[in-house]
Structure 1
Amino acid sequence: MIEIKEDQLASLLNGAIEQLQAEDDRRLVSFTKKIATTNPLQFFEAAKHIFENRTFWTSSSQMLWLTGVGNAFEMGADKSRFEVIEAAWNKMLNEAYIHNPYEVPGTGIVALGGMSFDPINAQTELWKKFRPSQFRVPEFLLTKYNSSYYLTINVCVRKNDHAKQLAEELRQIEQKLLLGQKVPDDILHIVDESEMDPEKWMDIVRQATDEIRNQHVEKIVLARELRLTFNRHAEISSILNNLLKTQPNSYIFAYEIGDDCFVGATPERLVKVEKNKLLSTCLAGTAPRGKTEEEDMKISEALLNDEKNRQEHDFVVQMIKHGIKDYCTEMTIPEVPVVRPFKNLQHLYTPVTAQLRDGFTILDIIKQLHPTPALGGSPKAESLAFIREHELLDRGWYGAPIGWMDSSNNGEFAVAIRSALIQKNQASLFAGCGVVKDSDPQSEYEETKIKLLPMLTVLGG
């Protein structure tokens, strides 16, 4: 990684251009500066008519906000996706010109993206724009960290580029983005709704319980899809705004590719790494919220003492423990979970903390953890084999890691549940549940209906 101390964007661009030898050589230049207060959603909306691709992310604590627009550098992989992405990321960073005087997570060169749940499964037309693994470094990135705001400009330069002219073009776009645009108050109305026959889906649950009773597998997670048609094209910034209002303590994300946008509000962190400190969380075992405080407390206590949910939760705890033990030191895991409440649901929750060993990255951890038993099952290979054979949908990026990583080895990924793929005036919503030997198909179906609520509510349902 080449650290540059130039103060001016034009000087930085010129220095990179002068180092290029051949006309087809390219070099990524990254310039970060501190800026005045800027609304991340209005920045996102202002980019709608300038760039095709936008990305949005907030951490569950809302301490970190990332709004990326445009595409300065892209990494994708269909096979060996962790190794291919890691190699491309490291090569790009080693050659990049970076001006970033701030030691702030989410500044400098930041790649945002995600991956599919199962790259072996055949991809359908629904997810044709989303590769099995896909990350991009945005051309403009707005970062809000605590109460400070930063703007990073990323651009690939060529030998024949003119530094001052390019810098001026970038500044003009910057001014439009920082002015922002008001987020529309878009109220969608659902005009059509379709889903797989519930009886057919529940029959697959019955097949899964038979598989478990025959001791071929301990747990299988089954998902289903709900397809909606709206009265007009959906406004992504409006959907994000409504998710921010209605889903506190969740990761709010959007990854847009042209007219398709994968968006969601997930409560489930997969892993966070900051200065080699690792945090993963086990969030499995689900119950609804009560209508009164007293009812809420009773449901919470019942969840904490429910054998099926505790077993489901422990699958995840043990998997994370064994998955990261060779990559970390100083691992700490509480002996019993607590109940963590969210807007519509409450979950069993156990945090896992550790110190990441030198030489390993967040991608190494993701490779070990995905898919967790909360989204795939246990054992991993056997549950995935059942899902591939019986589940009648293409999960795409649903249930898979989505997040970001930066040039200072910080990063955070969540599990993309409570999510939807928006396509103009249509959307596919996804929800799943963990099937164990005593699962009741009707109860599991009702649980997926509850899990669809966060997205359904903001989409006019």
Structure 2
Amino acid sequence: MSLSDPVPPGRLPAPQLVVRSQPADGVADRLMDHLPDEGGLAWVRRGDGHVGWGVAARLDVAGSNRFAQAQSWWQELVGHAVIRDEVGVPGSGLLCFGSFGFTDDDPSELVVPEVIVGRRGSTTWVTTISPASSLAAPPSLTTHEPDPVGLVAFADGSRSGTEWSGIVADAVSRITTGALDKVVLARDLIALAEKPIDLRWPLRRLAAAYPNCWTFSVDGLIGATPELLVRREKGLITSRVLAGTIRRTGDDAHDLALAASLARSSKDLEEHEYAVRSVADALKPHCKSMNVPETPFVLHLPNVMHLASDVAGVAANGASALGLAAALHPSAAICGTPTDTARDLIGKIEGMSRGRFSGPVGWMDAGGDGEWCIALRCGQADPADPTRMRIFAGAGIVAGSDPEAELAETIAKLVPMRDALGD
């Protein structure tokens, strides 16, 4: 669809927005301290990133064409916008936050906030976004304290641990017969809080505990993910692939030995190889040169260690960050190999709706640059009950997988959200 094409039936035309980014003093050390009590958007890593609030424009979309529809809407919005960017760094100017469902039927959205507060290194700024008919003045920057959620109990979600282990055993038997090479299976828990969950409370704790992860908040989905699906910045494309996991013990010497065993594990190396290959194959048509590491490194996080590979390339065409995310989703790291077979099996045996868990989450600017991660180590607030939240974890299943070990892996991956919600 070009910008001159008619608007599809049932969809409102994109509004004309006026955008202004200005350098700003008085930005808090923790960007998320500026978030109001409701409707906050966040994308923060190592203290840098941006937070936003209010809604200047929004697109809700679903279906097999959801990425293309979102891209078309964004191009139309950008084409009509008046942008004055006095900062000129990634994340300034017109920006949207987004989150996409794992399947075609799961809800997805792009949100353009009214106010964005950003930091990149020593540069801090404020962006205001408003309709041309109602120009907004730069806001006074204030900070807010989140409310603790009180005691939190956790209950089984769609499946108990025992039931989920049985599903893993079923998957292993199918893999052994040659039906597929790998499948990623997810499970959920229900968090039940004593008080309404102020999302800023777990967000702050996630950002503090996992500074090397991307801490995010988009429309009630919050988390701290270690997996960069794709970044596009000034012609460079990068993707961090994680597959193969072992739990940390807290004993440094023992953890080093575990890291060495992970790096030699044939089961984990096989799982990782599938994931790297799927990412490299998806990015190849969009790159004129690529660097795909031959061996992974071990990424150390506070709760787990992962086999990791950073795939990089030089952009060969005009694909936006969102277009690249669409080409990559779903990768073998969160679906399996072959993709279609694994996705069908997930639908048959996983026994739950993932919603936006394991879908792309991130941001994009007016030029198509941006970052999209995989929504992992995350939770979804319940819009009908503010004291409830679903939290998620998954594990990659291959021929050598042991159901009890895979269950233990998901328990380790649930730790970040469980700890973040605790009082």
TM-score (norm 2): 0.92
- Once the two structures are overlaid, the 10-residue window that deviates more, 386-395 or 359-368, is 359-368
**TM superposition shift of 1:192:** 5.2
Are the counterparts in 2 of residues 284 and 312 from structure 1 also a CA contact under 8 Å? yes
1:86 aligned residue (65, 71, 74)? 71
Q: Does 1:382 align with 2:373?
A: no
Determine if the alignment matches structure 1 residue 248 to structure 2 residue 200: no
Structure having the larger proportion of residues in helix: 1
Q: CA deviation at 1:147?
A: 1.8
Residues 1:292 and 2:238 aligned together: no
Distance 2:86 2:182 in 1: 48
Once residues 83 and 197 of structure 1 are traced to their aligned partners in structure 2, the CA distance between those partners, rounded to angstroms, is: 37
Matched, 1:106 2:110: no
Q: 1:41 aligns with which of 32, 54, 73?
A: 32
Using the TM superposition, give the Cα deviation of residue 392 of structure 1 relative to its aligned residue in structure 2, in angstroms.
1.2
Structure 1 distance, partners of 2:263, 2:389, is: 34
**Could you say which residue in structure 2 is the equivalent of 1:460?**
422
2:387 to 392, 402, 425: 425
CA distance in structure 1 between the aligned counterparts of 2:300 and 2:237, rounded to whole angstroms: 23
**Cα distance in 1 for residues equivalent to 2:318 and 2:164:** 44
Task: Note if 1:30 corresponds to 2:22.
Answer: no
The answer to whether the Cα contact below 8 Å between 2:363 and 2:371 also exists between their aligned partners in 1 is yes
1:140 to 115, 128, 138: 115
> Aligned-pair RMSD on alpha carbons?
1.7
Gaps of at least 5 residues in structure 2 are 1-12
Are 1:151 and 2:126 counterparts?
A: yes
1:437 to 399, 404, 411: 399
- Among 315, 318, 334, which residue is 1:359 paired with? 318
Deviation at 1:446, TM superposition (A): 1.2
CA contact (8 A) 1:73 1:156 kept: no
Match of 2:142 in 1: 179
Q: List structure 1 segments (4+ residues) > 4 angstroms apart after TM superposition.
A: none
Aligned to 1:276: 235
CA contact (8 A) 1:290 1:297 kept: no
Structure 1: which 5+ residue stretches go unaligned?
1-23, 124-130
- Return the TM-score normalized by structure 1: 0.84
Task: Indicate the larger mover: 213-222 or 187-196.
Answer: 187-196
Q: Could you report, residue by residue, the CA deviation over 1:141-176 in whole angstroms, capped at 9, with x for unpaired residues?
A: 111111211111001134xx5xxxx54xx45xx12x
One-letter identity of the residue aligned with 2:414: L
Higher-Rg member (1/2) = 1
Matched, 1:95 2:80: yes
CA distance in 2, matches of 1:193, 1:409: 41
Q: 1:302: which partner in 2?
A: 261
1:451 Cα deviation after fit: 0.7
Q: Deviations over 1:50-104 (max 9, x none)?
A: xx52201113x44x32111011011232121111111111111111111113320
Where does residue 39 of structure 2 map in the other structure? 53
Equivalent residue, structure 2, for 1:220: 183
Q: How many angstroms apart in 1 are the aligned matches of 2:72 and 2:153?
A: 46
- 2:367 aligns to what? 408
Choose which of 443, 449, 459 in structure 1 pairs with 2:411.
449
- How far off is 1:292 after superposition? 2.1
Note closer, same or farther for the CA distance 1:445–1:70 as it changes in structure 2 (3 Å cut): same
- Is the contact made by 1:248 and 1:342 (CA closer than 8 Å) also made in structure 2? no
**Alignment-mate amino acid for residue 438 of structure 1:** G
- Rounded Cα–Cα distance in structure 2 between residues aligned with 1:192 and 1:354: 42
Corresponding residue for residue 399 of structure 1: 358
**Residue 381 of structure 2 aligns to a residue in which SS?**
strand
Q: Distance in 1 between matches of 2:372 and 2:250?
A: 32
The Cα offsets for residues 286-305 of structure 1, whole Å up to 9 and x where unpaired, read as 01123322101100000000
Preserved contact between residue 230 and residue 238 of structure 2 (Cα < 8 Å): yes
**Identity percentage of aligned residues:** 28
Structure 2 SS opposite 1:365:
helix
Q: Which residue of the partner structure matches residue 72 of structure 1?
A: 56
Assess if the C-alpha contact under 8 Å between 2:241 and 2:275 holds in 1: yes
Equivalenced residues, count: 404
- Is this contact kept in 1: 2:149–2:196, CA < 8 A? no
Secondary structure of 1:223's counterpart equals strand
Give SS of 2:162's match.
helix
String of CA shifts for 1:183-215, please: whole Å, max 9, x gaps: 44x253124523422222111111111211111
CA 359–67 in structure 1, closer or farther in 2 if over 3 Å, else same: same
Paired residue secondary structure (2:285): coil
After TM superposition, give the deviation of residue 26 of structure 1 in Å: 4.3
